[in-house]
Structure 1
């Protein structure tokens, strides 16, 4: 359990867990509210009931944020305050680093890896995208790949704005609408936090060979119809190139 700066990444993560409202004990005009996520059966009914209570009982108008509206209309710099979250992404980060290091031995053999194929970098980047905390990724780039800091951070900011989370039905429709033929995961495709990038669409000249082997823990290539049964929710990079 922790407090995290409110960002679009945090909102997406909360939405994926079924939350649809952020509420705060602060007043609506407070500059740095403390938010608490809740899930209500009907957002519109909840807002009407809340408005009725404030009118009848002369309450001060509370701070309420509809997650879907915020994702549609707000960028990170327009979001204020901190949000209470129960999911410990930092614990998962450390567990993932330990497991991947056992497989790739990147701590003992850092010279084997470069910017384009660095499991540790991808794990930290994935953490940054899910939490909205970009500082660790920036520190990692500055330490290991100073020549890639500008490009790496620009890409991270771009993906933060483009990242969506969909259920299986929504993901299937999205893949069909964009004629997606192949997606590539950042971390292991079987991991619920994996972010999928569109690698090819139907009609591309290049032929991609998909082995179906998910033993590799990064950059898994897979067809949309094969990835859909793996999860309930899918994190998708919507930047179709």
Structure 2
């Protein structure tokens, strides 16, 4: 059998310019994906730093969306004792965090209810375990004094932790664990600044008056 007869009939002996460009583009795409994959792997190796809702949301649109939901909540639910969320809620950082969490639970319940074709108990659980306990707390003036007085009252200021009482043998190692991502005293309690306007009420302290651990009573 001759040497010519032994040649692979499917062997490509040349590439057109279009084919060469296609192979070059494919190589660039693979290289780009490898770079992105390495970046994702590096990001996955880093621990997630927790940030509260106010810290994460520094745009007016996010606050406006939360405000629309609060207004919808007030308009569509008849709460115990005729309670509702007062209009000065953006001035109370603690209440902002609570309302943001309540909306998150509501969204999860609505989506689960829709996916179940109204055959599940997600909405009932939201009402029983989230919504009504939240509004029942309004009957206690310690929770939110603006509800009872009818006028906006700034949250009481509280002294920062006395750090001189920390154990005396703690390490000063900068690489020790903990502390990252935790806002300094007073930082998380303030609403967005001048570039991120809120509704008319100004921001105030993060803790509620008289009882900083009100949430433990439930």
Give TM class, smaller chain: under 0.3
TM-score by length of 1: 0.24
Structure possessing the higher relative contact order (Cα contacts under 8 Å, 6 or more residues apart): 2
Structure having the larger proportion of residues in strand: 1
TM-score by length of 2: 0.25
Structure 1 or 2, whichever has the larger Rg, is 2
Structure having the larger proportion of residues in helix: 2
